[in-house]
Amino acid sequence: MNLTDRPRRLRTDGIRSLVSETNLSSTDLLAPVFVDATTDERVEIESMPGHERVPVSEAVARVQEVLDTGVEAVMLFGIPESKDERGTRAWAEDGVVQEATRRVTAATDAYVVTDVCLCEYTSHGHCGVVEDEAETDPTLTVKNDETLELLAKTAVSHARAGADMVAPSSMTDGMVGAIREALDADGHESVPVMSYAAKYESAFYGPFRDAADGAPAFGDRRHYQMDPANGREALREVRLDVEQGADVLMVKPALAYLDIVRAVREEFDHPVAAYNVSGEYAMIHAAAEKGWLDLEATALESLLAMKRAGADLILTYFAEDVAAAL
């Protein structure tokens, strides 16, 4: 054979890394941290091996563990000491995320992002104020406009506590605009908003609901999270968030939605985030425990796929393990 083009020439050890098209760094990763106001000790999350809920008193130590691997940013999720129908602990000055944020920002150099939603704080587990009779009528859902005020109050309370960035995740129409306006009015015009701009109603969220104690007590979230069948709708959702002032655009989940990550990357010039969600993490761990997959290699390949699709940053439960191996 007389082949002019032999791609294998560039796959040998000496040249392979030099011509690699996609690079993954620890600085591309955000590590989720769960802070639990109901416990005085660390509690393992059974469906997410290697992860724990930590008490507020352990928040700094937990974040320092993340930093020691080379990851520089964390996303704080909170489990409050009590819940009610409106999720009032979400914006309390002495709330779990607010107190953890104050401690972490005072004691570490971590870049702190906070999740802005109400599902962990409401007694019904939905992402806002529910309509009357929603518990018994499956056609009813969250009150959109009434929820916006509560999300804005929550974001402001996080910024006052020292959050470097806020990340609204409720898929409430107008949430970015309401939060941006509230932050600016309170003097936090420099705090960016990372919107969960295209968040799907996905079966891959199961373990997270164990971790954050945020499963709906009734019904589901199909009326406000996106239909997994829809791709073009994602661009419409993202465009609305861009127009309202979103600084970073997140797609959630990641692995089953790499086409959406790519579409958002090509359509918009904002930084794109991908959320490598709990179910994606758990299924790789489960297969590795069976001996069917190599855990580290599969995790790394998955994150590389997200970067290759166009993600600039990745929120992942693999952050510490992968960063330590890079």
Show which residues are catalytic.
199, 252
What is the number of other CB atoms lying within 10 angstroms of the CB of residue 236? 10
User: Considering Cα of 158, then 163, then 165, then 170, what sign does the dihedral take?
Assistant: negative
Kind plus residue range of the DSSP H or E element containing 33 = strand 29-36
Strands 43-44 and 194-199: unpaired
Q: What CA–CA distance (Å, rounded) separates 220 from 212?
A: 16
Q: Provide long-range contacts, Cβ within 8 A and 24+ apart, for 320-324.
A: 320/31, 320/65, 320/66, 320/69, 320/71, 321/50, 321/69, 321/296, 322/24, 322/26, 322/29, 322/296, 323/26, 323/29, 323/69, 323/70, 323/71, 324/69, 324/70
Q: What CA–CA distance (Å, rounded) separates 53 from 45?
A: 7
| Angle, CA 309 vertex, CA 303 and CA 314 arms, to 5° | 40
* Bridge partners, 22 (sequence order): none
